[in-house]
């Protein structure tokens, strides 16, 4: 089943614009009131530094700019209280042997909960997996304080199809490469704090849930997956390798319910560190064979 067709609406600019135009954000004194049509969906007290942002005009403007170089096929607009989120999907691409759609994320809030965000990435057609990466022409993270509108106006929209090529090539380069699970923990738990160990434990749960790799593991290797991250002691007997592309996508699956800015930060981290370990392991192999 195509996950996108079940969770997104087929592209209809006129219908989407009519929905976006229902968003109304007004500030009276230090109170920000957000409406969806005639219904109040959020009321929030703010400081004098808070700046109202015209998300309605911004979304419509970015949609028209994206359409100049991309054929939008699906969209999802979500209004959750004072949070406004729009995802646009365009051209299909093959990454890691499966199909994804180029994606554009616009996220804002009028209740101080989420900063204004603008990102691009990829959306899997088969599941809720997302890959978000940085691009200087379409990237923004700005809190709703004085200057947010000026910052948004400076964002370039010089987006062309080639914008995605470098990132897609880098992600595809992971396919077929192997990284030891001990090094995966070193990647995720680089700060060795409780939060990072929880992320690695969550990653192991994804592996266990998938069960795809369990059949190839020895009892001592399986035990690693059921041991809390902070208590694992790796040995030559219980260490094992995983496909680097699987590591990348499965790790990001942990953050599938987070906003695009969080996914982007985690994607940059896991890509940077995974690539580093792939390079180091190749060098170690060359040294051992010379």
pLDDT at 259: 92
Q: How far apart are the C-alpha atoms of 192 and 189, rounded to whole Å?
A: 5
In this prediction the pTM is 0.89
Question: Who contacts 111 (Cβ-Cβ below 8 Å, separation ≥6)?
Answer: 32, 34, 42, 44, 81, 82, 83
pLDDT at 281: 61
Q: Which two tokens stand for residue 71?
A: 């054929």
pLDDT at 36: 96
pLDDT at 276: 82
Across 212-255, where does the E strand assignment appear? 241-243
End-to-end CA distance of the chain: 50
Q: How far apart are the C-alpha atoms of 147 and 133, rounded to whole Å?
A: 25
pLDDT at 286: 42
Question: Who contacts 132 (Cβ-Cβ below 8 Å, separation ≥6)?
Answer: 103, 105, 119, 120, 121, 260, 261, 263, 264, 267
pLDDT at 93: 94
Q: How far apart are the C-alpha atoms of 8 and 93, rounded to whole Å?
A: 18
Most distant CA atoms of the chain, gap in Å: 74
**Which DSSP helix (H) or strand (E) runs through 283?**
helix 260-289
Residues of the chain predicted below pLDDT 50:
283, 285-290
């Amino acid at each position: 089943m195509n996950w996108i067709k079940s969770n997104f609406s087929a592209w209809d600019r006129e219908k989407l614009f009519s929905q976006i135009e229902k968003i109304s954000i007004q500030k009276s004194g230090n109170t920000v009131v957000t409406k969806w049509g005639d219904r109040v969906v959020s009321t929030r007290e703010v400081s004098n530094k808070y700046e109202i942002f015209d998300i309605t005009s911004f979304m419509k403007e970015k949609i028209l700019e994206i359409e100049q170089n991309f054929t939008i096929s699906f969209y999802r607009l979500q209004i959750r209280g004072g949070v406004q989120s729009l995802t646009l999907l365009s051209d299909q691409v093959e990454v890691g042997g499966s199909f994804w759609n180029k994606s554009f994320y616009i996220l804002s809030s009028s209740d101080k909960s989420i900063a204004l965000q603008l990102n691009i990435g990829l959306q899997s057609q088969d599941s809720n997996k997302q890959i978000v990466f940085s691009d200087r022409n379409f990237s923004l993270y700005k809190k709703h304080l004085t200057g947010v509108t000026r910052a948004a106006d400076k964002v370039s929209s010089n987006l062309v199809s080639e914008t995605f090529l470098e990132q897609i090539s880098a992600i595809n380069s992971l396919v077929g490469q192997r990284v030891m699970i001990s090094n995966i923990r070193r990647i995720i738990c680089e700060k060795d704090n409780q939060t990072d160990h929880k992320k690695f434990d969550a990653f192991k749960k994804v592996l266990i849930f998938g069960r795809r790799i369990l059949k190839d593991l020895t009892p001592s290797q399986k035990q690693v997956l059921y041991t809390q991250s902070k208590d694992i002691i790796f040995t030559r007997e219980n260490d094992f390798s995983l496909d680097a592309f699987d590591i990348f996508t499965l790790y990001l699956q942990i953050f599938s319910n987070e906003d695009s800015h969080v996914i982007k930060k985690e994607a940059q981290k896991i890509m940077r560190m995974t690539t580093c370990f792939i390079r180091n392991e190749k060098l170690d192999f060359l040294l051992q064979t010379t």
